[in-house]
Structure 1
Amino acid sequence: MACITLLLAILHVHKALCEAIFWDTAIQLSKTMTLECVYPLMDNLTQVEWTKISGAENVNIAVYNPNHPMHIDHNYFHRVHFLNATLEFRNMSLSFYNASEADIGIYSCLFHSFPGGPWEKKIKVVQSDSFDITAPSNDCLSEEPGQNVTLSCQLPNNWPVKQVMWEKVQPHQVDVLASCNLSQRTTYTSKYLRKTWSNCSQGTQSVLIIPNATSADSGLYRCRSEASTGEQKTYVIRLIITDDGANKHFILPIAGGSVSLLLVILIIITIIFYSRRRRRQVRTPLKEPSDKQSKVATNCRSPTSPVHSTDDEKEDIYVNYPTFSRRPKPRF
């Protein structure tokens, strides 16, 4: 009977440990999903391994060594690929084709480096709705880019806080930025690409600092505190970083469009002005030949025309006729 009780206790502890696997990023299940894994340090990398954690065993997915060809397990051969794998293989993000519910679970991305040693990131794939819908904001903070942004979370005073966790919540994924176990005074090293800092000391509030904030840091930040009794409290802050560059990019097209419109109007006005002026210039030469033709028509007359000009009336007329000698008339 004692052996059975001990066995049940061991199974219970094992189950609890399996369920309490800490993850760095939670991803929403979709047919085409990408598990992001980028090595942030400058150590020399020797090998990277992708596995799926299934209970007490790990199922191999892919192994890459620069001295050997890429090896992908036959169960994942036509279902996964590496989008951004480079020659140094620091970016070994794993993408899925036609993922299904069978792909729900926790995945491990393990880099072997020298002299840093192993570096592991755990990613949890869950079937969930948009993460930001389940995290309504309690507060809103607006800051300018380039500043060190400080997010603060008031911790409960009525019960002792055991652990505090800061997360960035996006529609398709949740990333753990900081995790502090206040009872054991241990700090979690974030696998998130953006470097942040958080205090891990007993106090009335927890602080998350984002250095040199940019527009990419805008979004929802969740502070989760947990007591030793299991009680939990959640506080969500919406951070808005006003991007001057984005405003300029927004203003410049408007200004450019206004200038272009004004230029088009000026061109149209100029064309209309010159076209009218040209018409006037064309009409004037056409009238002059018609006047000249009318004058020529009045000055030129036919020999039989009875109309004479006043100048013709004043001209002398000379007539040639023969002269006859005068003879005396004969007398009868």
Structure 2
Amino acid sequence: MEAVQKDHWYFVVLIFLPFLKVQQKEPVIVHLEEGMVLNCLCPWEGNLSMVSWTKIPDKYPVAVFHPEYGMAFSHHYRERIEFLRTTPLDGSISMRNVTHQDIGLYHCSVQTFPQGPWTRTIQVEDLGEPAHISCSQVIITNTELVAEQNNNLTINCNHQHNGTVYQAVLQKMPHGQLWDLIGVCKNVDGGLVGEDYSNRGQVICADSLDVTLHLTHVIQEDAGFYRCIFSTDVGEQTVTVLLTVLVPGGFSLSVYMMYVYTGTGAAVLVLIIVIVILAVRQR
């Protein structure tokens, strides 16, 4: 019966969390790292009613603590989050087995009696990554690729440094938008760890931390800039690739190349005929 009650109150919390109006505050910046702590310590005294954590802007439920019913976690954060509970009104949590999917904006709400709720917003960032490049800036590319729609394509990012590479981050910027994270390759405790966030292809990490992205049945949305940021022992190195996807029914690369080859062959044949005619006339 007690288990049913716990499931019931957690279900009710998950239903009503998306509709809660939260007070907007300047977020606190926290560095993405293993065992990171998201502090949420209510500064006043009182009785604790409940602590809830959500990830915004979608208000995705993360964790809930209730003095009577205990703790509950969403599936993605289960066995990864721990409530610290250093004081009666401490809603702080620690997070382990972190990945780049944990980057984002988190909202903590401490419900107290009699003074009511106290909230805090925390921005988790990977401070090792460079800032986003403005769309108005000129982007210098190392490689330009052209693909026909519905074909398969492989994008290779190979670092040109002979030293030690610790991490490689693969990002994509569609035309006129900001950089999105696609995948991460890194060395952790001497082992290779790969994180694939691509919904259009497959990210493959080599032992050297070179990165490969396989795209199948290329579509127009795959076009744009791709870049690999290699973190090495002598700094960062960036490799940028521009992918152009040809519009179906319009310009065709294979037809274009056929015309080029045909035209070149015809021109050479005409030139040979002209030379032969001139040689015969001179005799």
TM range (shorter): 0.3 to 0.5
User: Between Structure 1 and Structure 2, which shows a larger proportion of helix residues?
Assistant: 1
Provide TM-score, normalisation by structure 1: 0.39
User: Between Structure 1 and Structure 2, which shows a larger proportion of strand residues?
Assistant: 2
Which is greater in Rg? 1
Provide TM-score, normalisation by structure 2: 0.45
